[in-house]
Structure 1
Amino acid sequence: MTLPARWTGDHVKAIDAVAVASAPLLGSSDVVHVAPDLCVWDAWPLQDESGDPHHIEAGRQLWMALGAPWFADPDERHGHARIHLLLRDGATWRDLGPAMPDDFSPGSREWSGSAVVAADGVTATLYFTATGRRGETHISFEQRIFSASATLDKSDHMPRLRDWRDLKEIVTRDPAHYMTTSGGEGEVGKIKAFRDPAFFRDPIGGESYLLFAGSRAGSHSAYNGIVGIARQDPGPDARWHILPPVISADTLNNELERPHIIFHGDLYYLFWSTQRHVFEPTGPVGPTGLYAMVSDSLLGGWTPVNGSGLVFANPDAAPAQAYSWFVLPDLSVTSFVDDWAGDGPRNFGGTFAPFVHLWLAGDKAGIVR
C-alpha cells in the first residue's frame, strides 16, 4: 500500500522563504451578483470527460454552484445550500434555479461536487455531497457521496438538465483510513470531511477517479485533513472503490477542501483550497489560498509545488477576499468573493470572483500577471 504524501509544517515554513504570490485586490466593480435574491459560492462547470468545460454553443456553458438566500450571518448559508444550475454566457451569469428537483437529494443540504457529460453529449452525471438527511429535525453534518444522472436538453435557447434518475451512494467510507462525519460538531472550520467529489479521467490509463476531502481516521489531532480518492471499475457495473488517501495534512490542517486534479505538461497537479483559521494554531500557519502538489504518477510520488504547496494567496489587504478555487485545464481559475475589502467589518461577496490564470512549470507554479 502506498502511504499518503505528507504536507507538513516544514513545507508551510518554506512559504516565508519566498515571495508569496497573491491574487489582485478586488474592488466594488468586481462584486457583481448573479441574482439579487441569491448568493453563490463553490462552483464548477459541466465538464467533458477530458475535464474541459462542455460548450452548449459558442461562448455558452452550464455551470453549477452552491446557492442559498442571503442571511445577515453569511455562515448560515451552509445550512440551506442547494446546487444551482447557472448559464455562463460570455462574461455574464444567469441563475436557472436548483439543478435537482425538490425532494430528490437524500440530504437536508447539497454540498460541493462535480459534473460530467458523457461522450454522447446528452447524458450528464452529477457527483455531489449529500449533507445531513432529508427530513431531519435536527441539522446534522453527516456527509455522503452520491451520483445522479440527467439528460442535457439543448432543444431551446435555455439549456436544462431533465429526467433526473439513478440516484445512488457511490463511495462509502473505509473506517481504516477515513473518519466518520456523523455526530461531529458544526462550527465552521471544525467540521470533519467526507465531501467534495471531483471527477478526473486519467489521460494515461483511461481510468476514472474521484478526489474528495476527508479526515484521517485514528488521528490524535483535531487537525487531520486528508485528500481521499476512489477509482471506478471498468465494465457495465462501473462501481466505485475507495482507495487509501493520497495526501495527508495530519497535525497541520483540518480541511483540504475541493481537491481536484489536472494533467498538464505530462504531470499531474492536485489542487486544494484551505484557510488560515483551519491550520493547527500553534503553527506554522499558512495563508488562505490555493495549494497544490505535483507528481508524475497519479497514486503516489506527490511533492508540494514551490517547496511549500502554496500556489497563490489572497492579498495582505484582504486575506479572506476569495475562496474555493477550481482550476480548469486551460489553467484559468474560478473562485467566489468571500470577505472582500469593502466598507463594513465583514463584506461577504457571495458571487463569482474574477477568473485568474496560472502558470505551471514542473514543480513550480504561480499566477499570471
Structure 2
Amino acid sequence: MNPLPATLESFHTLQWTARDLARLADGPVPRAPVLAAADLRRVAPRLDVWDAWPLADPGGAPTPWRGGELWFALAAPAFDDPEERHGAARIHHFHRTDGRFRHLGVTFPDGFTPGSREWSGSAVLEDGCVTLYFTAAGKREEAEPSFRQRIFASTARLVEEGGAVFTPWSPPVEQVIPANVVYMSHHDGTGELGEIKAFRDPAPWRSPAGEDHLLFTASSARHLGFYNGVIGCSRRGDADPQGGTFEKLPPLVDASGVNNELERPHIVAHGGLLYLFWSTQAKVFAPGVDAPTGLYGAVAKRLEGPWRLLNGHGLVFANPEKEPFQAYSWWVLPDLSVASFVDYWGIDDAAADRKPHGRAHFGGTFAPFLHLRLEGDAATLRGSLKNG
C-alpha cells in the first residue's frame, strides 16, 4: 500500500548547524582521488562544460538512447577567464557512449528562454516526452547581467533516429514561484559568485504515492543574512494565479547561519531509504565553520523527514586536500555512480585563490565518474569509473 501524501504539518526541516560540521574534526575527512592529466577529456576544443545531468526516467536513472545515454550540461565558449562562462551559460546536450561524451549542440533556440542565460536543471523522459526543468537567470536582452532566478519547464518529443534529437520545444512555463515568505524572491546579492541569493537548480522526485515534487536551491526569507541557504521543496498542484504549477512546501534542509548555497539538491532512493544530496563550496560557509568543498547529504525514510545527516556531519566526500578546487557539482545516480565536472585542477596549494590560475588550470569538462557505497546513515566512496 502506498503511503498517504505528506501534509505541510508533517514536514521536519533539518537544521544543519556548525556543531554538526565540527564533527569533521573527529576523524579523517573522506577525499576523492586526485585527477591526472589523462583523466581530462574535453568534449570540444573551445567549449567549457560544467553542471551536468542525464535524461532520466522518473526514478532518476539515465534512459537508453541510440546505444548510449543523453545528457545535458551548462556550456559556454572557452573564455580566457573561465569565470566569464556564468554570464554566457546555455544548456547543451551530449551523447554518452562507452563512457565518453560527444557534443550534440545547444538545446534551446536562441532567444527562446526568458532569461539572459540558462542555469542548471534536470530532465525526465516519460512516454517519449522530455520535460526539461531549468533555471532562467536574469532577463532576456538585459544590458547588464542581473541575478533574478526563475524555475521553468519546457517539453519536447525525443527523436530516436535521424539527425534531430528533439521535436520543437513547448513554450517555457514557470513551475514554482517564491513569495518572499519562506523562500527569498530577491536574488541579486552582490553579484559575486557564491554571494548571490538563490532560487534555482530544479530537480524532480516522485513519491511512492505518485506525487511529483521539485527540489531546488533557495535562500531563506525567514532568516535574512549572508548565510541563509536552504534546500527548497514543492509539490505539483493546481496552477496558482501567478502561473506556478507546484505549491511550495517547507525546506528539507536549512543551513541558516552556516552556509549560503546548498546547490543542485536531488534525491536517490536506495535500500528502502531516501538519500538527499547537495554540493557546496568551502568559501560559502560562514566564518568559523571549517568545512571543505564537497558532496554532502542526508537520509530519511520519507520526504517529509525527519532527515539525518550522512556520516553524522553531512559530508560524503571532499576534493583532495591538495586539490581543493578539483571538481564540483556532483550528481548521484540510482546505481550510485557520481557525475561531476573538472573545475580548477593541478593547484596543489589549499590556501591558493583559484582565480589567478585562469585558463591554464581550468578543466571545463566532465570528470571521471565516482561510485558510492550507502549503508543506512553511512556513505563512503567506492572508487572511480574512468570516462573511456
Q: How many angstroms apart in 2 are the aligned matches of 1:264 and 1:38?
A: 35
Root-mean-square deviation (Å): 1.8
- Aligned-residue offset at 1:166: 3.6
Q: What's 1:213 paired with?
A: 217
Q: 1:220 to 1:239 in 2, by over 3 A?
A: closer
- The question of 1:125 aligning with 2:135 is answered no
Please give the alpha-carbon distance, in whole angstroms, between the structure 2 residues aligned to 1:233 and 1:192.
26
Match of 1:273 among 279, 289, 292: 279
Task: Decide which of 325, 332, 340 is 2:330's aligned counterpart.
Answer: 325
> Is the 2:175–2:244 Cα contact (8 Å) retained in structure 1?
no
User: Residues 323-354 of structure 1, C-alpha deviation per residue, up to 9 Å, x if partnerless?
Assistant: 00000000000000001116993511000000
* Alignment partner, residue 116 of structure 1: 124
Is the Cα–Cα contact under 8 Å of residues 112 and 128 in structure 1 kept in the other structure? yes
| Alpha carbons 1:232, 1:238 under 8 Å: kept | no
Aligned amino acid, residue 352 of structure 1:
F
Task: Tell me which residue corresponds to 1:26.
Answer: 35
**Alignment partner, residue 267 of structure 2:** 261
- 193, 196, 219: which is aligned to 2:198? 193
Q: What residue identity is the alignment partner of 1:52?
A: A
Is the partner of 1:177 in helix, strand or coil?
coil
What's the CA shift for 1:3? 4.5
3-state SS, counterpart of residue 79 of structure 1? helix
Partner residue, 1:149: 155
State how 1:55-74 maps to structure 2 within 5 Å: 55-58=64-67, 60-74=68-82
**Unmatched tracts of structure 2, length 5 or more:** 1-8, 349-355, 384-388
- Whether 1:349 aligns to 2:343 is no
User: Quick one: distance in 2 between partners of 1:108 and 1:128?
Assistant: 13
Distance 1:171 1:220, change over 3 A: closer
Distance 1:112 1:171, change over 3 A: same
Residue matched to 1:247: 253
| 2:296 corresponds to | 291
2:94 maps to amino acid: L
Q: Which region of structure 1 is more displaced relative to structure 2, 226-235 or 2-11?
A: 226-235
What is the DSSP-based 3-state SS (H/G/I as helix, E as strand, rest coil) of the residue aligned with 2:84?
Answer: helix
Q: TM-score, normalised by structure 2?
A: 0.90
Residue deviations 1:285-304, cap 9 Å, x none? 21000000111111120110
Are 1:83 and 2:87 counterparts? no
8 Å CA contact 2:179–2:185 kept in 1: the answer is: no
Q: Which residue of 2 aligns with 1:172?
A: 177
Which stretch shifts more, 33-42 or 183-192?
183-192
Counterparts of 1:338 and 1:182, CA distance in 2: 24
Report the equivalent of 1:224: 228
Which residue identity is paired with 2:363? G
SS in 2 for 1:25: coil
Q: 1:178 is paired with a residue of what secondary structure?
A: coil
Of all paired residues, the percent bearing the same amino acid is 50
Count the aligned residue pairs: 362
Q: Normalising to structure 1: TM-score of the pair?
A: 0.94
- For the 8 Å contact 2:336–2:372, the answer to whether it is kept is yes
**Rounded Cα–Cα distance in structure 2 between residues aligned with 1:238 and 1:277:** 33
SS at match of 1:95: strand
Q: Aligned residue for 1:95?
A: 103
Query: What is the one-letter code of the residue matched to 2:381?
Result: I
Secondary structure class of the residue paired with 1:180: coil
Q: Quote the Cα distance in structure 1 between the aligned partners of 2:170 and 2:327.
A: 34
Tell me, yes or no, if the aligned pair for 1:51 and 1:201 is still in contact at 8 Å: no
> Match of 2:22?
13
Q: From the superposition, tell whether residues 155 and 348 of structure 1 become closer, same or farther in structure 2 (CA, over 3 Å).
A: same
- Alignment deviations for residues 75-107 of structure 1 (CA, whole Å, 9 cap, x no partner): 110000000011111122111111111111000
Task: Please list every run of at least 4 consecutive aligned residues from structure 1 whose deviation after the TM superposition is greater than 3 angstroms.
Answer: 342-346
CA contact (8 A) 1:141 1:185 kept: no
User: What residue in structure 2 maps to residue 340 of structure 1?
Assistant: 345
Q: Please say if residues 73 and 93 of structure 2, whose CA atoms lie closer than 8 Å, have aligned partners that are also in contact.
A: yes
**SS of 2:86 mapped into structure 1:** helix
Q: 1:87 to 1:228 in 2, by over 3 A?
A: same
Runs (5+) with no aligned partner, structure 1:
none
In 1: Cα distance, 2:23 partner to 2:13 partner: 20
| Counterpart position of 1:138 | 144
Matched to 2:113, the amino acid is S
**SS of match in other structure, 2:124:** strand
1:53 to 46, 62, 66: 62
Q: Is the 8 A contact 1:61 1:89 kept in 2?
A: yes
**Aligned-partner SS, 1:186:** coil
The CA distance in 2 between the partners of 1:166 and 1:91, in whole Å, is 33
Whole-angstrom distance in 2 between the partners of 1:197 and 1:181: 17
